[in-house]
């Protein structure tokens, strides 16, 4: 990760007067060109870099700057620990653990316990309480391909059960509603697509490298719904579902009903995924409009009942 490497370089430069770019490149297993880009980014971030020419030259941080060891405020260090700690829960990675240790080394020993307590007041953990707590086995392969700009090939099973062979340029891993997705350029469709990791199989990193395309991260920020229209349906739900309804559609779409019930204007797409969400609420949720959606739900419930009545 570039951010991880930048923090590590800063820590090394704080501890040494100078280090050669070739030595840093060897340590981080990247090119000297990449190191020079990292040094430029550190300099632009406000940490003054000094270049020492000659055979025994290298790069370092201006001594006057080193004297003030408070270029990160206490609040900033807390945020870094929170962010790095949360990522380490999601991705098991020794480099992240090392980065956590390096950031903690910035904190005076007298303040360490207090800052650790504050940084632990918020925790992000998306693993389930029960069941499989391991991430998809293809995750590490995809991360490697992302770092090295390599093509990936895999078999993909879409939500209709249709299987296809894909070759893609990977651009970003996305965690959305507890599921991992890969946002990539598909060579078959000649366009950017979003793939769900759980539907990918036979993932292989290809030897061929690609030149990253210009693209808008914001355009990839949401998962496309294949042009399906979002409609508002009316639900009557149990008061116990209030928090879940606020998460899904916002408090402004929820009104009191009667007998500890709520009436909800719920954003809905007429597809299998959305029906499964509603059915997952069980007898705590009833769709009252429109009639077409209500009838489809009744049909799905009847089909489910037939299975259990065999």
The CATH classification of domain 2-67, taken from the options 1.20.58.340, 3.40.50.300, 1.10.10.10, 3.30.420.40:
1.10.10.10
Instruction: Write the pLDDT tens digit of every residue in 12-68.
Output: 887 777 888 888 888 888 888 888 888 888 888 778 888 888 777 888 887 766 545
Q: Which phi and psi (to 5°) does residue 151 adopt?
A: -65, 155
Instruction: Write the pLDDT tens digit of every residue in 63-92.
Output: 766 545 555 666 666 666 666 665 555 555
| Structure-model confidence comparison of residues 199 and 87, the more confident one | 199
**Chain-centre distance for alpha carbon 261:** 35
Q: Report the candidate in 176, 172, 7, 174 with the shortest Cα–Cα distance to residue 80.
A: 7
Q: What ranges do the domains of the chain cover? A: 2-67, 74-119, 139-220, 230-308
Q: What is the dihedral of CA 241, 127, 169, 191, to 10 degrees?
A: -10
Question: Which residue in this structure is represented by tokens 């299975």?
Answer: 307
Q: Partners of 165 in the beta sheet? A: 155
Domain 139-220 has CATH 2.30.30: yes
User: Do the domains 2-67 and 139-220 sit in the same CATH topology, yes or no?
Assistant: no
Most trustworthy range by pLDDT among 48-52, 109-113, 139-143, 283-287? 283-287
Report the mean per-residue pLDDT for the chain. Answer: 80
């Amino acid at each position: 990760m570039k951010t991880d490497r930048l923090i590590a370089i800063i820590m090394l430069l704080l501890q040494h007067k100078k280090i050669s770019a070739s030595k840093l490149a060897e340590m981080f297993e990247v090119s000297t060109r990449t190191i020079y880009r990292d040094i430029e980014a550190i300099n632009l971030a406000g940490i003054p870099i000094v270049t020492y020419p000659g055979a025994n030259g290298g790069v370092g941080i201006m001594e006057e700057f080193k004297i003030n060891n408070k270029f990160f405020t206490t609040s900033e260090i807390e945020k870094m620990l929170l962010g790095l700690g949360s990522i380490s829960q999601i991705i098991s990675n020794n480099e992240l653990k090392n980065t956590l240790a390096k950031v903690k080394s910035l904190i005076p020993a007298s303040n360490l316990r207090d800052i650790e307590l504050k940084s632990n007041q918020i925790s992000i953990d998306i693993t389930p309480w029960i069941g499989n707590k391991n991430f998809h086995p293809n995750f590490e392969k995809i991360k490697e391909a992302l770092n090295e700009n390599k093509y990936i090939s895999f078999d993909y099973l879409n939500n209709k059960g249709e299987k296809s062979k894909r070759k893609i340029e990977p651009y970003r891993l996305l965690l959305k509603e507890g599921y991992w997705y890969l946002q990539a350029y598909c060579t078959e469709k000649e366009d950017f697509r979003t793939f769900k990791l759980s539907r990918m199989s036979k993932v292989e990193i290809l030897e061929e490298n690609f030149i990253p395309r210009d693209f808008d991260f914001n355009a990839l920020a949401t998962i496309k719904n294949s042009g399906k229209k979002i409609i508002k349906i009316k639900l009557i739900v149990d008061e116990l579902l209030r928090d879940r309804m606020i998460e899904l559609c916002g408090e402004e779409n929820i009104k009191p009903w009667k007998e500890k019930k709520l009436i909800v204007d719920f954003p809905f797409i007429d597809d299998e995924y959305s029906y499964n969400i509603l059915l997952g609420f069980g007898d705590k949720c009833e769709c009252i409009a429109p009639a077409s959606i209500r009838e489809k739900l009744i049909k799905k419930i009847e089909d489910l009942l037939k299975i259990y009545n065999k």
